[in-house]
Amino acid sequence: MCGIVGLHLREPALHPRLGELLTGMLSQVCERGPDSAGVAVYGDPRMSPPELMSVSLLPQGRSAEQVTEAVAAALPAGTAVTSFDGGQTVVVHAATDADALRGAVRIALPAAVVVGYGEDIAVLKGVGHPRVLAEEIGLVAAQGWQGVAHTRMATESAVTPEGSHPFSVGPGQCLVHNGSFANHATIRRELRADGVEFDSDNDSEVGARFVAQQLAQGADLEKALRLLCERFDGFYTLLVSTRDSFAVVRDAIACKPAIVAETPQWVAMASEYRALAGLPGVETARIFEPEPEQVYVWRR
Amino acid sequence: MAAVTEGADVLLPQGDVITVDLAHSTVRELNAALHAPDAAERASTWLVTSPEGKHSLACGLDAELTVEIAGHAGYYCAGMNQRATVTVDGNVGVGVAENMMSGSVHVRGSASQAAGATAHGGLLVVEGDAAARCGISMKGVDIVVGGSVGHMSAFMGQAGRLVVCGDAGEALGDSLYEARLYVRGSVKSLGADCVEKEVRTEHLDELAALLLRAGRDEDPADFRRYGSARRLYHFAVDNAY
C-alpha cells in the first residue's frame, strides 16, 4: 500500500495556496505509507527560483551551506549558487544548464544522490512519518502550479531516502507509484544494457527510468505511458508529471485505488477521496475513477 | 455506551434524530453508538454529518436502525450490515456493503470498486456508477446500479441478482456460478463462462420487483439477462494448462 496525491492548478489565483492544499491532501494518506514520503513542487520561487536550473539531491550528511559552497567551487568562478534546505533533501540553484549543474554536484559531492533536476521543479523526499517530513520541508508555504506527494509503505526494496518517491530522473519529470512491478528486474537489465544508471533497487525507479527513456527518444507522455502498460507487468496506479503535463494511468486490473476530481480551477488525483475532501469547490467537481490502461493527461 | 456519550454533546438526542458530527466525534465513537443495544430505541434516524470520506462508517450494524450519512464515505461503508437501512448522500469508497447479510444500503452518488463484495443478502442500490468488480463473489445480495458498472463485475458470483441500468465493463460475470445479471445498456465483453440468456416472464417479474424496491422507473423489457453457462462446474481437460 502507498498513498498518492497530486494537484494541478489551472487557476493562477490558487498558486499561492499550492503547499497548503497539498499538505492537507498528504495528511489524509499518511496511514497508507507511514515509512517515507516525498513531494515534487513545480513553480515555487524559493525551492526552484525562476530562470535558474535546480538540482535536488540527498546530501549524505552535508548541510545546505556545505553543499552550496562545494557546488559553487566546482562551477566556473563567479557562478552564483543558492540553495533550499528541505531537511533530508537540498535543492541547489545556479544560472547554468542541467548537465553543468549535475556535473558540478557529481564532482563536488561524489556520494550525493541527485533525486531531481530541471527548471521550476524541486523534489524533496526522505524517510520518516509523512507529516514530520512535510514540516521539515516547509511544504505548507510552497507555491506553484503543480505538486505531487507520495507516502510509501515499502514492499519491494529498503526504506531509504533513495528508495522514496517521487522518482524524478528526467528533466522536470516526476513519477509516483502505488503498487509493485513484477518484471522490473528484467526491464532494469535491459535499460542498463542501454547505458541507463540506477540509484536504487526500487521497482518504481525502473518505471521512471523507462518513461524518461521514452520521452528522451521523442515519445510524448501519453505514448510513453502506453508503452509502459505494454511492457510492465504488475500492479500500478501511476501519477506522472512534467513541467507542463499531469498524467494518470492504472494497470489492466486496476486494483490499486485512484480517484480524480476536476474543476475549471484545478485537477486533483488521490488514492482516496478523503484526500480531496478539503479542496475548494470539490463539492461541484467532476469526480471519477480512472479506467484501467487508459492514459489521462492534463496539460497547462 | 458511557464512553460514547460522556462529553460528546453531539450525541444528545435532538427529537427523533441523533446527529453525530464526525468533525467532532471519531468513527469509533459513531460505530460504538450504533452497536449499542438501545441504538434503535434512542432514535428513529441517526444522522452522520461531516463524513469527509472517512472509512468504515456504520460498519457491523445488527439492528433495525436508520442511518443517513450526509456526504461522501470512504472504504467499507456499511460493511457486514444486518437489518439496518443505511443511506449515503454522496459517493462511497471501496467495498460498500461488503458482506452485507440483510437490510439495505442506498448510495445516492457513485461507488468505488467491489461494491457489495461477497454480500449474502439485503439490497444495495447505487444511483450513480459502480466501479470495477461490483458484486464480486456475491452470495445472495441484490444490487441495483442506476449507472454503469466497471470491469469484472459479478466475478465469481454465486447467488443473488445484479441489475445494471447503464452499461457493463469488460469481462462481466467472469467465472459466474449462479447469480442472475440484468443489463440495460451495452456489455463491453462477457467473462469466461458468462452467456446471455433468455428473458422469461419470471425474470421480467423479478426485475420489475427489484427496480421498484430500488425506486427506479426503467422498463424491465429493456434489459438483457446474463448468467452462467455452467461449463466450469466440472473439470475439463481442455481447461488444464
Would you name the residues of A annotated as active-site residues? 2
Q: What is the mean pLDDT of chain B?
A: 93
pLDDT digits (tens, 9 = 90+) for B70-124: 999 999 999 999 999 999 999 999 999 999 999 999 999 999 999 999 999 999 9
Question: Of B124, B114, B121, B112, nearest to B139 (Cα)?
Answer: B121
Q: Do A273 and B151 touch (CB under 8 A)?
A: no
For residue B8, what pLDDT is reported? 45
pLDDT value, residue B11? 53
- Whether residue B54 and residue A292 make contact (CB cut-off 8 A), yes or no, is no
CA proximity to B49, closest of B7, B103, B90, B110:
B90
The 8-class DSSP code of residue A175 comes to: E
Range of the domain at B103: 53-217
Same-fold call for A3-43+130-299 versus A49-119: no
Backbone angles phi, psi at A279, to 5 degrees: -75, 145
What pLDDT, on a 0 to 100 scale, did the predictor assign at position B4? Answer: 44
* B94/A257 touch (CB, cutoff 8 Å), yes or no: yes
Q: What architecture does CATH give domain A49-119?
A: 2-Layer Sandwich (3.30)
Helix (H) or strand (E) holding A114: strand A113-119
d(CA B76, CA B59): 7
Contacts of B53 in chain A (CB under 8 A): 28, 272-277
Residue B1 has pLDDT above 60, yes or no: no
Question: Would you say residue B155 lies in a domain?
Answer: yes
The reported pLDDT for the residue numbered B233 is 84
Identify the pLDDT of residue B235: 78
Contact A134, A29 (CB under 8 A): no
Decide if B30 is inside a domain. no
Calculate the dihedral angle through the C-alpha atoms of A67, A70, A72, A73, rounding to the nearest 10 degrees: 180
Is residue A88 within 8 A of residue A53, CB to CB? The reply is: no
Of A254, A273, A292, which is closest to B53 when you measure between CB atoms? A273
Question: In this complex, is the C-beta atom of B118 within 8 Å of any C-beta atom belonging to chain A?
Answer: no
pLDDT tens, A162-220? 999 999 999 999 999 999 999 999 999 999 999 999 999 999 999 999 999 999 999 99
In a domain, B18, yes or no: no
Give the C-alpha separation, A117 to A161, whole Å: 16
Question: Cβ of B188 under 8 Å from any chain A Cβ?
Answer: no
Query: Both ends of chain A: CA-CA distance in Å?
Result: 30
- The pLDDT, as a whole number, for residue B7 is 40
CB atoms within 10 A of CB B218: 17
Residue B79 lies in a domain: yes
Q: Is B159 exposed, middle or buried (0-12, 13-18, 19+ CB in 10 A)?
A: middle
Distance CA B119, CA B106 (A): 14
The verdict on A273 touching B (C-beta cutoff 8 Å) is yes
DSSP assignment letter at A274: G
What is the pTM (predicted TM-score) of this model?
A: 0.89
**Choice between B6 and B122, residue whose per-residue pLDDT is larger:** B122
- Decide if A289 and B150 are in contact by the 8 Å CB cutoff: yes
For A78-120, the pLDDT digits (tens) are 999 999 999 999 999 999 999 999 999 999 999 999 999 999 9
Confidence band for B15, pLDDT divided at 50, 70 and 90: low
pLDDT surpassing 50 at residue B131 = yes
- The per-residue pLDDT for range A268-279, each reduced to its tens digit, is 999 999 999 899
Let me know: does B20 contact B11? Beta carbons within 8 Å: yes
Q: Touching check for A31 and chain B: CB below 8 Å?
A: no
- All residues at 6 or more sequence positions from A176 whose CB lies less than 8 Å from its CB, including other chains: A2, A4, A6, A38, A148, A149, A150, A165, A166, A167, A204, A238, A239, A240
Which secondary structure element, helix H or strand E, spans residue A94, and what is its range? strand A89-94
Please, what sign has the CA dihedral across residues A137, A141, A146, A148? positive
**How many CB atoms within 10 Å of residue B232?**
16
pLDDT digits (tens, 9 = 90+) for A159-172: 999 999 999 999 99
Note the pLDDT tens digit of each residue in A39-64.
999 999 999 999 999 999 999 999 99
The CATH number linked to B57 is 2.160.20.60
Chain B nearest CA to A277, separation (Å): 6
CB burial readout A243-259, b (16+ within 10 A) else e: bebbbbbbbebbbbbbb
pLDDT at B239: 66
Residue B125 lies in a domain: yes
B59 assigned to some structural domain: yes
CA distance B200 to A127: 62
Residue A162 host element (H or E):
none
- Among A250, A274, A293, pick the best mutation site for testing chain B contact (most B Cβ within 10 A): A274
pLDDT, position B109: 94
**pLDDT band, residue B237 (cuts 50/70/90):** confident
- Torsion angle, alpha carbons of A130, A135, A141, A146, to 10: -20
Nearest CB to A254; choose among B52, B74, B132: B132
Residue B65 lies inside a defined structural domain of this protein: yes
DSSP tag of A34: B
Q: What is the pLDDT of residues B140-190, one digit of tens each?
A: 999 999 999 999 999 999 999 999 999 999 999 999 999 999 999 999 999
- Any idea where the domains of chain A sit in the sequence? 3-43+130-299, 49-119
| Total domains present in chain B | 1
Residues in A closer than 8 angstroms to B131, CB to CB, are 289
Residue A8 has φ and ψ, to the nearest 5°, of: -115, 110
Q: Does B94 touch chain A (CB under 8 A)?
A: yes
**pLDDT computed for residue B236 by the predictor:** 77
| pLDDT tens profile A9-31 | 999 999 999 999 999 999 999 99
Is the CB of residue A140 less than 8 Å from the CB of residue A147? Answer: no
Residue B241: pLDDT above 80?
no
Q: Tell me, yes or no, whether B100 lies in a domain.
A: yes
Q: Which CA distances in Å does A266 have to A8, A15, A214, A260, A261?
A: 6, 10, 28, 11, 8
Q: What is the pLDDT of residue A195?
A: 96
Instruction: Determine the Cα–Cα distance for residues A279 and B224; give it in Å rounded to an integer.
Output: 41
- pLDDT at B2 exceeding the cut of 50: no
Superfamily of domain A3-43+130-299: Aminohydrolase, N-terminal nucleophile (Ntn) domain (3.60.20.10)
Which are the contacts of B207, defined by CB distance < 8 A and separation ≥ 6? Answer: B163, B182, B220, B223
pLDDT of residue B5: 42
Residues whose CB falls within 8 Å of the CB of residue B238, separated by 6 or more in sequence, listed in order: none
Q: What is the mean pLDDT of chain A?
A: 96
DSSP state of A77: T
